[in-house]
Structures are given as C-alpha cells and as structure tokens.
Amino acid sequence: MENKEELFHIRNEKHAIKQQSEDINHPDFYLNDELLEELQLFCQNFDPYRDMDLETKFRLQEFGVLELSNPFEITNKLLLLLENNLQYRIKIEKEK
C-alpha cells in the first residue's frame, strides 16, 4: 500500500492547481476564478475542529496549508488566501 505522501503526489498530478495562462504575471498566492470559487465553497463547509478525512487534508495541502494540527492556524491561512486574492482582484480592477 502506498503511503500518504505518494498518494498526495499522485493526486496532485491529476488535480494540480494551475495558474491562468495570461500575459499577466500574478503573485504566488493568485487563484484563478474557478479555484477561488472552489476555495470559497470549501471554506463554507470546512470545520477545522473536526477530524479530517484524507480528501480534506489533500485539499488543504493543495491550497498551501501544510500544518494541519492547529485549527486556528488553518483558519487563518485560508482566510489570508481568500483575502489576498480578493484584494489583488480589486487592485487589478482599479488599474484598468
């Protein structure tokens, strides 16, 4: 049986988070519209104080949350990712 790390790498190859292929050079935290919507839906249904199944852990790692033992830290990282993306989009709109 494969270990969790191998499963994560295999899963990431199939479901890798990809940046949009635009001419704009976005920051590292940037998520395209589809991924931002997925993150918002994930956050609406996510409870960091409950036991997490493997799929939830993989999703968190895809969004850059690697430390899974501290629910407060998980929540802060997800909120920061959402906030950074929303503020970045507002900034782009203002520059147009």
Q: pLDDT for 35-59, tens place per residue?
A: 999 999 999 999 999 999 999 999 9
**Between residues 28 and 24, which one has the greater pLDDT?**
28
Question: Cα separation of 78 and 70, whole Å?
Answer: 13
Distance CA 5, CA 66 (A): 12
pLDDT score at 12: 56
* Calpha distance 33→55 (Å, rounded): 22
DSSP state of 50: S
H helix or E strand, kind and range, residue 53: none
Residue for token digits 């249904």? 45
Measured CA angle at 64 (ends 15, 17), to 5 deg: 25
